[in-house]
Amino acid sequence: MSNRYPVLPTNKAISRLGVAYVRKVCAHAHVGFTEESADEDHLAVDGAIRTRGASTPVQIKATTTKSIKKVAGTFKVDVDPDWVEKWRQNINPTYLILVLLAKKSSSWVVYDPTATTVPGFAIWERVDTLAEGTTSLTMDRAQRFTPLTINDWTEILQAGYGPVSA
């Protein structure tokens, strides 16, 4: 399934799909998401999850891989030292979300009669606590980004401001 009249180049389309994936998880978690417009990405952050109390900045990276089902263990992601410097300046916990998608654009989303499936997944790593000069990051296949992650992040965020009940 593909559109005969594409507007976005492939890499841009992949990045849009990555943002859409994160938005979907946020909506599922009953939490809002604010996206920075592309030209304002000066803090190496694509958006903010509207967690309770204060927003959680996130950087979203989307990429495709040939054999999405075979991805296992950990893998390395290169990060720009300038981004690291900017993440370190954030006063609230900040995360990198990596969205992995199928290689062929026709398989990015599968439209079954009763289900719309994205063959892919997203994993995360905290980045505001990275050491200065970090150039690559080891990400864990098991650390998936789901609505439960947003729970955990909210608790970590709020712990910075003292014990909050409910």
Residues near another protein (CB under 8 A): 36, 40, 43, 45, 48, 52-55, 57, 89-92, 157-164
CB of 130 to another protein, least distance (A): 16
Residue 155: CB minimum distance to another protein, A: 12
> 90 and 129 in contact (C-beta within 8 Å)?
no
Report how far residue 125's alpha carbon sits from residue 164's, in angstroms, rounded to the nearest whole number: 25
Decide whether 17 or 45 has the Cβ nearer to another protein.
Answer: 45
Q: How far is the CB of 29 from another protein (least distance, A)?
A: 17
Crossing angle of helices 147-159 and 10-28, rounded to 10°: 70
For another protein, which is the closer residue by CB, 36 or 125? 36
Find the shortest distance in angstroms from Cβ 48 to another protein: 7
Q: How far is the CB of 23 from another protein (least distance, A)?
A: 18
Strands 74-78 and 47-50: unpaired
Residue 35 or residue 71: which is nearer to another protein going by CB?
A: 35
Looking at the Cβ atoms of 47 and 120, the one nearer to another protein is 47
d(CA 70, CA 120): 11
Q: In angstroms, what CA-CA distances link 50 with 15, 56, 84, 87, 157?
A: 20, 6, 22, 18, 12
74 Cβ neighbours under 8 A, 6+ residues apart: 138, 139, 140, 141
72's tokens: 């296992």
- 92/143 with CB nearer another protein: 92
Residues 112/1, Cβ–Cβ less than 8 Å: no
